[in-house]
Amino acid sequence: MFWQYFIVLCLAYLIGSLPVGWVVVWLVSHQDIRYHASGKMGTSNVIRTVGVKWGILTAIADILKGVLAVWVVRWIFPDRIDWLIAVAGMVAVLGHIKSIFLMETRPNGRIRLRGGAGGLTSLGVVIGIWPPVIFFSGIPALILYLTLGYASVATFSINLFALIVFVFMQINGIEPSSWWYALYGVFGLGIVFFALIPNYKRLRSGSERVMKFSLNAFLRAKKTKNPEDSAAQSSDERNHDNDSEFV
């Protein structure tokens, strides 16, 4: 039985590791997304590199990675095993953030794994656990993304809202309820937070980049009074390109 668990968790990690953003950008433009904008594999960086429609495609695929990681567990183990579902979700998100397919050697000789921030893959995991969670986690996060324009805030909110939902379900006995799912929410919140620490520092300093199609960016543009202000704003955005990822 141990080996079955181990194989399932390895499959979940490999599914999460699939570098969808890298593949999409390479097929569309023959560019390596690791050397453009933030260098991450998530939706926001794909949008910056090759456009919105390809970013949407990447977002859907990254969500499906999380869903598939949960489905693999349920397919191999028809009897519900909450701890295995939760751990499979954890390693899938970890795979997205640290993808074995994006291994590279640093100038100092150390090996590192690249990836995204894990937001949308984590959303896929919680959808796989309980599909209606998309109304309490995914849609509110999307609203934040389109209004505030900060990918880092939207990414963090996915896991925060999911954690609240799973704790509420467990306390009130709403199925499928399990403290393991709440524990997954804590893990997702923690790992995404650490992946986006540089972004939160920029949020505090006021230098975090705002996605151009957001309501926040639109309102900022309206406040621009003259061409000099506009040029200064554009220069500031270029100088503060960041690592935020709604992935």
User: How far is residue 151 from each of residues 28, 45, 174, measured CA to CA in Å?
Assistant: 23, 10, 31
pLDDT at residue 54, as a whole number: 94
Mean pLDDT of the chain: 86
Full DSSP string of 59-119: HHHHHHHHHHHHHHHHHH--S--HHHHHHHHHHHHHHHHS-GGGEEE-TTS-EEE-----H
Distance CA(109)–CA(223), nearest Å, equals 48
Q: What is the mean pLDDT of residues 167-178?
A: 91
- pLDDT category of residue 180 using cuts at 50, 70 and 90: very high
Whether the link from the prior residue into 176 is cis, omega within 30° of 0, is: yes
pLDDT at 231 over 70: no
Beta-carbon count within 10 A of 63 CB? 23
pLDDT digit string, tens, across residues 19-38: 999 999 999 999 999 888 77
Q: Is the pLDDT of residue 236 over 70?
A: no
Model confidence at 242, pLDDT cuts 50, 70, 90, reads: very low
For the cut 50, the answer to whether the pLDDT of residue 191 exceeds it is yes
Query: How many of the other CB atoms lie within 10 Å of CB of 148?
Result: 19
**pLDDT digits 0-9 by tens, 69-92:** 999 999 999 888 999 999 999 999
Query: What's the confidence (pLDDT) of residue 12?
Result: 97
Indicate if the pLDDT at residue 241 is higher than 80. no
Residue 238: pLDDT band by 50, 70, 90 thresholds?
A: very low
**Would you state the pLDDT for residue 246?**
55
Confidence of residue 58 (pLDDT cuts 50, 70, 90): very high
User: Among 122-131, 147-156, 232-241, which is the least confidently predicted range?
Assistant: 232-241
Nearest to 247 by CA among 104, 39, 31, 85: 39
Chain centroid, CA 160 distance in Å: 13
- 206-216 per-position pLDDT tens digit: 777 777 778 87
Domain coordinates in residue numbering, the chain: 2-222
Q: Which residues make Cβ contacts (< 8 Å) with residue 166, sequence separation at least 6?
A: 126, 129, 177, 178, 181, 182, 184, 185
Q: How many CA atoms lie within 13 A of 39 on its CB side?
A: 7
Residue showing tokens 């704790």: 167
Report the pLDDT value the prediction gives residue 233, as an integer from 0 to 100: 47
pLDDT of residue 225: 56
For the chain, the 3-state helix, strand and coil shares in percent, each to the nearest 5, are 70, 0, 25
Instruction: Write down the pTM of the prediction.
Output: 0.84
pLDDT band at 230 (very low <50, low <70, confident <90, very high): very low
Nearest to 163 by CA among 178, 131, 185: 185
Locus of tokens 């390596």: 32
Report how far residue 79's alpha carbon sits from residue 47's, in angstroms, rounded to the nearest whole number. 40
